[in-house]
């Protein structure tokens, strides 16, 4: 029997694959669900599988961090063994993590085709491991699901060798499907100290592994003109503890640090906040969902999501303390109406991807 193996490994992959898993179930496409385990803490991984009511993974691993190379190699080795054992007709991966590249490599070396969801994003910043991962994965994939025309154009410019489809981004599907549930179930607002607040996240390696940048972020949040609610990624917490600034920031009156939150709680905070300040990829996209529509300040030097900037939702504000504070003031002082449509589609990307796969594999 033909089967598609859907592989996830980190928080955003679980969130963005969830609508595809549902669309597969609805269209009766046989699937094997695998968690390759790049994220291993409960609140970065299983929490999302449970909350999004996904099936229990058929195969599940936990990969301890080691180095980037060893993490990638360890996932290749595990996935190769699993792919040999299960022989799926297609392996579907999403995004740009080490787990995505490792899984795609393991598959192509066994002659198993790969489908890449969220293909064609480019930051043109080769400091980022994600930029290596997404470029390499695109060039070894058979089916490339580009979220937008811009990502399709990136792929055409690089002459990728196989089929490109523009589908929208499944994160919009996820927000539309989960926000009504979140608004019913989440109690997160009961524990937030502030009425009006900025929602912040930071975890990109090129930011938080650089102590100067990490310090810039924390000082900007401590001095921001609105209080900051900050669910902290484990990478960032580790760096803050190593650099001995965690306790000071935890005690700052202007910052409320939270552990990594479940998706429902996070959606409610996105809906309620005044501004989002982030270096996350997925959050830049979610801010454009018609039911969220929030201004986003991107604390980076580049973005692989230029659609958010072009549509007027986002600004790339760099990583300097003064620049961050100035940009927050600017948004608060010049409120503007944001577009009603998201550049990432209509919330039906997963259904499109499922139908394309059904047709291509003649299920
Ligand atoms: C990874 C991805 C990044 C993605 C992010 C989503 C790569 C190169 N990076 O970054 O693109 O945006 O996931 O959140 O693939 N840690 C835990 N528990 C966990 C996960 C991480 O404690 O469940 C800590 C560990 O100390 C680990 C560190 O965070 O060493 C970094 O984790 P890793 O998966 O290597 O990278 P992320 O920063 O999470
Ligand atoms: N998210 C979450 N809880 C949090 C922080 C983020 O559920 O505490 C969600 C967020 O809504 C988005 C995804 O996690 O869907 C983004 O993950 P992350 O920023 O870790 O990775 P990136 O998108 O940058 O790869």
Q: Residues with beta carbon inside 6 Å of ligand 2? A: 11-12, 15, 201, 203, 231, 233, 260-261, 263, 266, 280-283, 286
46 within ligand 1 shell (Cβ under 6 A): no
- φ and ψ at residue 86, rounded to 5 degrees: -105, -20
Whether pLDDT at 58 is above 80: yes
How sure is the predictor about 161, in pLDDT bands with cuts at 50, 70 and 90? confident
CA distance 169 to 38: 22
Q: How far is the CA of 258 from the centre of ligand 1 (A)?
A: 17
Ligand 2 mean position, distance from CA 160 (Å): 29
- Determine the pLDDT at residue 1: 84
Ligand 1 centroid to 39 CA: how many Å? Answer: 6
What's the rounded Cα separation, in Å, for the pair 354 and 349?
Answer: 9
Q: How far apart are CA 214 and CA 233, in angstroms?
A: 13
The percentage of residues in the chain with a pLDDT greater than 70, rounded to a whole number, is 100
Binding site membership of 278 for ligand 1 (Cβ less than 6 Å): no
Atom 24 in ligand 2: residue holding the nearest Cα: 280
Q: Where in the chain does DSSP place strands (E)?
A: 4-8, 31-35, 59-60, 90-94, 114-117, 143-146, 163-166, 198-201, 228-231, 255-258, 275-278, 296-298, 314-316
What is the Cα–Cα distance from 199 to 266, expressed in whole angstroms?
9
304 lines ligand 1 (CB under 6 A): no
Query: Any idea which ligand is nearest the CA of 240?
Result: 1
pLDDT at 30 over 90: yes
Domains of the chain from N-terminus onward: 4-168+347-361 (3.40.50.2000), 180-333 (3.40.50.2000)
Q: Which ligand is nearest to the CA of 134?
A: 1
73 lines ligand 1 (CB under 6 A): no
Tell me which residue of 90, 73, 91, 158 sits closest to 121, measured CA to CA: 158
**Ramachandran sector of residue 117 (left: φ over 0; alpha: ψ -120 to 50; beta: rest):** beta
In the chain, the N- to C-terminal Cα span, in Å, equals: 9
For 287-311, what is the mean pLDDT? Answer: 98
- Give the model's confidence band at 323: pLDDT under 50 very low, under 70 low, under 90 confident, else very high: very high
Binned at pLDDT 50, 70 and 90, residue 311 comes out as: very high
Q: What is the pLDDT of residue 134?
A: 98
Q: Is the pLDDT of residue 157 over 90?
A: yes
- From 122, 242, 142, 252, select the one nearest 200 (Cα to Cα): 252
Q: Which of 39, 203, 233, 329 is catalytic?
A: 203
Residue 48: band (very low, low, confident or very high) from pLDDT cuts 50, 70, 90: very high
- Percent of the chain, pLDDT > 90? 98
203: annotated active-site residue: yes
Main-chain dihedrals φ then ψ at residue 140, nearest 5 degrees: -115, 10
Helix H or strand E encompassing 73: helix 68-86
Give the closest residue (by CA) to ligand 1 atom 13.
10
How do residues 252-292 score in pLDDT, each as one tens digit?
999 999 999 999 999 999 999 999 999 999 999 999 999 99
């Amino acid at each position: 029997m033909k089967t598609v193996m859907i592989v996830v490994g980190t928080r955003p992959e679980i969130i963005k694959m969830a609508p595809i898993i549902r669309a597969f179930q609805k269209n009766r496409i046989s699937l094997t669900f695998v968690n390759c385990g790049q994220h291993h803490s409960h609140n970065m991984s299983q929490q999302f599988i449970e909350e999004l009511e996904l099936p229990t993974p058929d195969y599940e691993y936990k990969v301890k961090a080691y180095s980037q190379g060893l993490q990638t190699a360890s996932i290749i080795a595990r996935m190769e063994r699993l792919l040999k054992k299960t022989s799926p007709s297609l392996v579907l991966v999403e995004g740009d993590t080490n787990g995505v590249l490792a899984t795609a490599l393991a598959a192509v070396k066994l002659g198993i085709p790969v489908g890449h969801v969220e293909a064609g994003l480019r930051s043109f910043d080769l400091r980022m491991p994600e930029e290596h991962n997404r470029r390499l994965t695109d060039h070894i994939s058979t089916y490339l699901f580009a979220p937008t025309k811009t990502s399709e154009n990136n792929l055409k410019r690089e002459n990728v060798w196989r089929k490109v489809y523009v589908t929208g981004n499944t994160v919009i599907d996820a927000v539309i499907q989960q926000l009504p549930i979140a608004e019913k179930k989440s109690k997160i607002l009961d524990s937030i100290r502030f009425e009006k607040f900025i929602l912040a996240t930071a975890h990109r390696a090129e930011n938080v592994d650089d102590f100067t940048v990490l310090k810039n972020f924390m000082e900007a949040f401590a001095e921001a003109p609105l209080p900051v609610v900050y669910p902290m990624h484990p990478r960032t917490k580790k760096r803050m503890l190593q650099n001995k600034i965690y306790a000071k920031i935890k005690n700052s009156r202007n910052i409320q640090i939270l552990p990594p939150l479940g998706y429902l709680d996070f959606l409610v905070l996105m809906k309620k906040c005044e501004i989002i300040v982030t270096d996350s990829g997925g959050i830049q996209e979610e801010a454009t969902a018609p039911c969220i529509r929030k201004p986003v300040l991107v604390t980076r030097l580049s973005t692989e999501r230029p659609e958010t900037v072009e549509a007027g939702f986002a600004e790339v504000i760099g990583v300097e303390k003064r620049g961050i504070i100035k940009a927050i003031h600017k948004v608060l002082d010049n409120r503007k109406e944001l577009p009603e449509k998201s550049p990432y589609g209509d919330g039906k990307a997963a259904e499109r991807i499922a139908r394309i796969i059904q047709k291509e594999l003649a299920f």
